[in-house]
Amino acid sequence: MLKISISGIRGMVPDSLTPEVCLNFAKAFGTYMQGETIVVGTDTRSSSEFIKGIVLQGLLSSGCKVIDLGVATTPTVGIVVRELQAQGGLVVTASHNPEPWNGLKFIRKDGIFLNSQQTKKLLEIYENKTFEEAPGGSAKTYNKASEIHINKILKAIDPKKIRKAKFKVVIDSCNGAGSVITPLLLKELGCIVIELNTNTKKLFPRGAEPTPENLTELAAIVKKEGADIGFAQDPDADRLAIVTETGVPVSEEYTLALSVKYILQTTSSSRRIVVTNLSTTSAIDHIAREFGAVVIRTKIGEVHVAEEIKAKKALIGGEGNGGVIYPKVGFNRDSLSGIALILMYLANQKNKISELVGAIPEYVLIKKKITCDSSREALDFLENSKLKFQKDSLDLTEGVKVIRKIGWLHLRASNTEPIIRIFAECKDKKTAEEFIQEALES
């Protein structure tokens, strides 16, 4: 099954993400971008180089001037698009999906993913096969992408403070696109770096998502080496998770919370705006209140958060899946920016990471999904939920979010398949489970 959403396209290689699909999407994107300059990067999947060759063929046939970064993180591609004033970017990646999944992500000239209206136009070109055939296409390699990304980060923080601390850091890049650039950044920051899973020639050694259950090896090495912190990335390095110095992996929700707290604690700006999505932890609201900041919540999807950050000139934003968006660096979820901000927080506070995590309000977030027979059934479920919870405070920005003193419940239809996603966050697991059960009762 080919999944198409505002996060791009994903599918199994070669079953649903076929060479023909990749070629036609590249032709559609080249046509949509009117044959202008396109930056291309890939993650390290076994199929990525093959797919890139097909993508280049499609872009060149549309007259595009392609700048090939080779292996590059998704946020790196977004940053280079802006720095080189390209018309757009294309990343060959399936993000946190395992092999044999792969996919394509489409970036516009401001470094942000295509939004729903722009994706609709791209899909119309793809489905109708109204591809432009144009001469003049060209391709060249570019080897300064990592340097640009790292320098953007160094200019956005105070690297001297981190260098002075001489942190010992274990980095687990899942043998993905962050495997080379992330150790380079850490060394620039004066860290003692212990590399784990940073071989781009090897397969993913663990579950691709940087969730606690996938970080047992990282946790053991952090504790064994007496490291100050462990960081884990997903294959395209847009998500970041943390392991404390005690060898405890913490929820990805803490990545954004810690980054937000550092920024709000150290900024002198009177314009204190934080942007995140509807399903991100309430710890963000708690931290914002502490520092007199405003939290704006958007629909689910990185592009919604990024566009709002840009429009409102927010200080920081992101998603609770470990995705930090720091506009001083770029408008994509960026694990490298997250690493830099959290190390700045550690250097400023002179506390251990376990203590900084312990100071964040603790919530229990449970995620479930139910399968529906059709998209129509999913929409009916949401309409019935509105009636069921009509006496509660509701946020209908996307789906149905029920807000109570005990916590919140968010019900929404998937963008790619007939399922309902159900998130509940409360102060304890039992209450969150009961909240979900209430939603499921007819």
Instruction: Work out whether the CA dihedral 111, 112, 114, 118 comes out positive or negative.
Output: negative
Whether the CB-CB separation of 43 and 105 falls below 8 Å is answered with no
Indicate the residue type of 396: L
Q: Where are the alpha helices (DSSP H) in 297-408?
A: 302-312, 335-349, 353-358, 375-388
Which residues lie below 8 Å from residue 197, measured CB to CB, with a gap of 6+?
A: 172, 173, 174, 175, 179, 205, 206
Cα dihedral 70, 123, 29, 8 in deg (nearest 10): -20
Q: What whole-number distance in Å separates Cα of residue 234 and Cα of residue 333?
A: 12
To the query of whether residue 442 is one of the catalytic residues in this protein, the response is no
Distance CA 108, CA 307 (A): 12
Task: Burial-class residue 400 by CB neighbours within 10 Å (0-12, 13-18, 19+).
Answer: buried
d(Cα 164, Cα 159) in Å, to the nearest integer?
9
Distance between the two ends of the chain, CA-based, in angstroms?
31
Burial (CB count <10 Å: 0-12, 13-18, 19+), residue 188: middle
Q: Which residue among 95, 146, 179, 385 is the active-site one?
A: 95
What is the rounded distance in angstroms from the CA atom of residue 47 to the CA atom of residue 92? 9
Cα distances from 303 to residues 22, 105, 107, 273, 439, in angstroms, run 22, 11, 10, 17, 28
Closest alpha carbon to 325 in 281, 267, 279, 263:
263
User: 237: which residues sit within 8 A by CB, 6+ positions away?
Assistant: 73, 74, 75, 76, 173, 176, 177, 178, 181, 182, 334, 335, 336
Neighbours of 283 (CB within 10 A): 23
DSSP three-state, residue 353: helix
Q: Which of 347, 55, 225 shows the shortest CA–CA distance to 339?
A: 347
Residue positions annotated with a catalytic role: 95
